[in-house]
Amino acid sequence: MLTGKNVEKNQRESVAQQFEQIMLKSMLDSMQDTVAKSELMHSDSESLYQDMLNQHLAKVLAERGTLGFAKIIAEQLPDQTSNAEIKTALPSVSPNTNQNNNPLPDSTTKSPETKQPVWSNPQSFVKDIYPHASIAAAKLNTSPEAIIAVAALETGWGANVMSANANTGNESSYNLFGIKADTAYDGEKTLQWTHEFSAGAMQRKQDNFRAYDSVATAINDFANFIEKNPRYSAALETQGDATKFTAALAQAGYATDPQYQQKLLGILNGSVLKSALNEVKNLTYQPIVEASNTQSASLSTSPMFALR
């Protein structure tokens, strides 16, 4: 039976483990920064995958508790730590950042308030979202690969999906595209800490992000958001070219990361996506058009201009 003290103890241990994960990620990054990089061998895609690997290693080490940092941190935390204090105490683990602040970006990635990964590897992530990405791609005049690449970059192949607001009743927000929720948005929201570049400097801020009840709803909302936002009109004219579509999103200010376009290109041209797609295309999916139409109708009244 769980008592109040047990709950508080579990909260302290959970927060301490997240702090340890952040510390370990920072240590790994700092260690690698001391090693000179070869201009011939180094690339943006390599940096992206190295960052994802560092984050995964930090998470695994923190969960195992081998180094004991979490235990020490937990002992220093107060007994009456509230959920609100826990949520606002932690910085972002691995943000995508950007210097373009005019107009405001629509996407910001990764927050400390992430639950256990919904997907354990890129293959399972691509397998689950591919059917819905195909429907959205037809609406946006692009390829499923383009939509999958954005979702992969925003969530680390599904490993870092924002947690849901308690009102949704879900562990995951299913926000695969980092779409924010402005005051006009009347759907479910989740409050998250994030980092963004503004005037050339990275700043920490808190924002509301959209929360969904399923992968299908999230991807359909992304399609509506892009289709109905004049900022992304150029992306709708790329005639199925995934590279041009993602470039148009980046150039329109979808994210704050100055390397956003290069990172998307690295995913599109990388072996991870190609391998996952090869596996997916050998599978047979059940039709989901009817469900998609229902989702489209239910979302058509939602505001599509939630600038971040």
Which value, in Å, is the radius of gyration of the alpha carbons in the chain? 20
Q: In this structure, are residues 55 and 160 in contact, taking their beta carbons and an 8 Å threshold?
A: yes
Name the residue ranges covered by the structural domains of the chain: 1-89, 96-308
Neighbours of 138 (CB within 10 A): 14
Question: The tokens of 77 are what?
Answer: 């935390």
For domain 96-308, the CATH architecture is Orthogonal Bundle (1.10)
Residue 224 confidence (pLDDT) above 90: yes
Residue 254 confidence (pLDDT) above 90: yes
pLDDT bin (cut points 50, 70, 90) of residue 40 is: low
- Decide which of 162 and 2 is more confident: 162
Element (H, E) at 202: strand 201-210
- Decide which of 213 and 287 is more confident: 213
Q: How far apart are alpha carbons 107 and 306 in whole angstroms?
A: 10
178: left (phi over 0), alpha (psi -120 to 50) or beta: left
Average pLDDT, stretch 229-247? 96
Q: What is the pLDDT of residue 298?
A: 31
Q: What is the pLDDT of residue 7?
A: 44
Average pLDDT, stretch 266-274? 95
pLDDT bin (cut points 50, 70, 90) of residue 83 is: very low
Residue 4 confidence (pLDDT) above 60: no
Residue 230 confidence (pLDDT) above 70: yes
Q: How far apart are alpha carbons 22 and 67 in whole angstroms?
A: 13
> Of 90-99, 212-221, 241-250, where does mean pLDDT reach its minimum?
90-99
Residue 257 confidence (pLDDT) above 50: yes
CA-nearest of 278, 109, 285 to 207 is: 109
* Tens of pLDDT, residues 112-165: 344 444 688 999 999 999 999 999 999 999 999 999 999 999 999 998 898 886
CA-nearest of 305, 289, 308 to 297 is: 289
Q: What is the pLDDT of residue 22?
A: 80
The gap from C-alpha 304 to its chain's centroid, in whole angstroms, comes to 19
Residue 91 confidence (pLDDT) above 60: no
Q: Which residue, chain included where needed, has tokens 């039976």?
A: 1
Q: Which residue, chain included where needed, has tokens 């999958």?
A: 148
Average pLDDT, stretch 188-210? 83
Chain-wide mean pLDDT for the chain? 74
Q: Percentage of the chain with pLDDT > 70?
A: 64
Q: ∠ CA 178-181-183 to the nearest 5 degrees?
A: 165
Q: What is the pLDDT of residue 182?
A: 85
Residues 96/118/247/142 CA torsion (nearest 10 deg): -170
- Decide which of 264 and 1 is more confident: 264
Average pLDDT, stretch 23-35? 71
> Of 8-12, 31-35, 40-44, where does mean pLDDT reach its minimum?
40-44
Say which DSSP state 196 is in: E
Q: In this structure, are residues 98 and 196 in contact, taking their beta carbons and an 8 Å threshold?
A: yes
Residues 6+ apart with CB under 8 A from 208: 180, 181, 182, 185, 189, 190, 191, 192
Question: The tokens of 97 are what?
Answer: 């950042």
Q: Which long-range CB contacts under 8 A does 249-253 form with residues at least 24 apart? A: 249/150, 253/98, 253/100, 253/102, 253/103, 253/104, 253/105, 253/106
